[in-house]
């Protein structure tokens, strides 16, 4: 091998070695950069995992809170429905009691009316008997004077008529009261039935 070719080989060998060192240095630098980037990415990934875990925990807590609120709302709805139902039942019970009370009042008034009618009738019969007895006595005593019987007869008739009128007035008042109560009761029943339908 001559001197020129040997120099050339040295030159080629030295250039290749420098290039190799330079390439190695570049590669090492890239590896360090990549490693640094990987470390940063690892840190970001770790941070993201932590954030995900926190978010998942918060989500679970929110879900639990939502479920608890939902149960609370459901419970409140049931309570309201129960109270509403209880109030309707109480109103219906009170209404039934009121109807029963009014029916009893009407029944008592009817009994009172019947008793009064019987009493007045008995009183009228008694007065008629008394009147007939007195009239018979007067007629037997005053046969020679026919006009004398007219005075006590007319007095008793007026008295009897007055009692009859009073009795009729009282009966009319009691009948009107009973009729009024029966109408109120039937109107109340109709209104209650309509309310229950709606």
Which own/partner pairs from 145-151 qualify as long-range (CB within 8 Å, at least 24 positions apart)?
none
pLDDT above 60 for 9: no
Neighbours of 113 (CB within 10 A): 17
pLDDT in tens, 82-115: 877 777 677 788 878 888 888 888 888 888 878 8
What whole-number distance in Å separates Cα of residue 37 and Cα of residue 6? 46
What whole-number distance in Å separates Cα of residue 47 and Cα of residue 55? 12
pLDDT above 70 for 168: yes
What residues does each domain of the chain span?
3-197
Using only C-alpha atoms, what is the Rg of the chain? 60
What is the per-residue pLDDT for 197? 52
Work out the average pLDDT over 156-161. Answer: 76
pTM, two decimals, is 0.37
Lowest mean pLDDT among 61-65, 140-144, 175-179, 184-188: 140-144
- Cβ-contact 154, 131 below 8 angstroms: no
**Total residues belonging to the chain:** 198
What is the per-residue pLDDT for 7? 54
- Report, in this order, helix, strand and coil percent for the chain, each rounded to 5: 95, 0, 5
What is the per-residue pLDDT for 177? 82
Token couple for 122: 């008995």
pLDDT in tens, 116-154: 878 878 877 877 787 777 767 766 765 554 554 455 667
pLDDT in tens, 66-87: 888 888 888 888 888 887 777 7
Contacts of 187 (CB under 8 A, 6+ apart): none
Token couple for 73: 């709302």
Average model confidence (pLDDT) for the chain?
Answer: 77
What is the per-residue pLDDT for 6? 60
């Amino acid at each position: 091998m001559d001197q020129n070719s040997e120099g050339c080989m040295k030159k080629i060998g030295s250039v290749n070695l420098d290039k190799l060192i330079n390439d190695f240095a570049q590669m090492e630098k890239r590896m360090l950069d990549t490693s640094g980037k990987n470390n940063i990415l690892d840190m970001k990934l770790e941070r993201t995992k932590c954030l995900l875990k926190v978010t998942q925990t918060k989500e679970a807590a929110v879900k639990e809170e939502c479920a608890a609120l939902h149960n609370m709302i459901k419970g409140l709805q049931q309570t309201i429905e129960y109270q509403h139902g209880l109030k309707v039942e109480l109103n219906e019970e009170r209404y039934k009691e009121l109807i029963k009370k009014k029916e009893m009042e009407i029944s008592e008034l009817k009994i009172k009316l019947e008793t009064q009618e019987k009493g007045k009738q008995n009183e009228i019969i008694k007065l008629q008997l008394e009147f007939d007895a007195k009239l018979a006595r007067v007629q037997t005593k005053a046969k020679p004077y026919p006009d004398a019987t007219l005075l006590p007869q007319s007095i008793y008739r007026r008295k009897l008529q007055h009692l009859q009128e009073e009795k009729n007035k009282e009966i009319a008042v009691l009948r009107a009261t009973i009729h009024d109560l029966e109408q109120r009761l039937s109107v109340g029943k109709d209104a209650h039935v309509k309310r229950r339908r709606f």
